[in-house]
Every structure is written in C-alpha cells, then in structure tokens.
Amino acid sequence: MKTNIMIFAASFLTVLLSACAGSGFDSGELGSKATANTNFYQHWVHSYEEQNGQKIPNIFRPKGSRAFPPSRFRMEFGFDLSGECNYKYLSPVDAHEMRDCVYTKIGNKVYLYDDDGVLLKHLSFTLQGPARKDEMRMAYGVQEPVSKDAKTDKNAKPQ
C-alpha cells in the first residue's frame, strides 16, 4: 500500500512539474515583446575555464559547440520542453554518468527533482539572465520565495 502511494505521489509530482516546465524567464520579463525564450531547452556543458577563477556566474555552453579541454569532471545538464532533464552525476569512484530528472522553471529559478520527486537542492540553480543560443549563465542555489505577509507588513522582521 505504501509503495502504491509513493508511486502515485511521484507520478503526480512529475506531471505537475512537467506542466510548469515552460513557465517563466522569457524576454517579456525584461521589458520587450512577450515571446518565449527557447534557448534554455538544450544540452549544456560547464565551461569553467571561461570563468577565470570566479565562482559565479557559472558559464555553460551548448554540447558540441566547442572542444573542451580534458577534465576529470565537467558538469552537464540537458533540458527539454516537457519538463524532463538529465544531469551528469559526480560519482565518488569516477564512474560519472548521466542521470534522469524532472525540473520546473519558475522565473529565473530552476528546481531539479530526482525520479522520486525529491528536490536536488545542490543542483537547483538561478539563471543570471535569459539563456542565449550559445551561453547560459547561472549560480547554484535558489532563494525561497518571499511570503506575501513579509512584503506587505512593514514591521515584519526577516527570518
């Protein structure tokens, strides 16, 4: 019985997150015509050499767009319009592999979930601007939304 409930909950969460996948962070949010930015929906590879030692923003380039220098590990993400994704898993024994996930994109925040519907906090990230055809800039971590009460109550203290 418990297994059936978990399977149902994971399936429901996947469908719900898939419905939200195309939302947010398009050029309309930046003051121009409201057309969807589809550049995000592709396979991205971390190009950390371009960061010149800076931790943020993390710079990603489309897979196959260049020859990257050899590396023991290079993070990769793949996103599609249906809300499905995959990411390069950092294996402790150097047996790195691509793993499936689902995601939801709300504004400039991208939340990744494993197959059981568990949020992958260490992989979820905030876009530093709209993804371009040849570049995505991001920072790991997502901020929690501000509560409605905190916005309207001038006496509210930050938590």
What is the dihedral sign for C-alpha 141, 88, 20, 7?
Answer: negative
> What amino acid is encoded at 11 in this protein?
S
> Can you list the residues of the chain whose pLDDT is less than 70?
1-35, 143-159
Residue located via tokens 């149902």: 8
pLDDT per residue over 84-95, tens digit each?
999 999 999 999
pLDDT per residue over 87-118, tens digit each?
999 999 999 999 999 999 999 999 999 999 99
Interatomic CA distance for residues 149 and 67, integer angstroms: 50
Distance set, CA 135 to CA 17, 45, 58 (Å): 25, 10, 10
Interatomic CA distance for residues 140 and 126, integer angstroms: 6
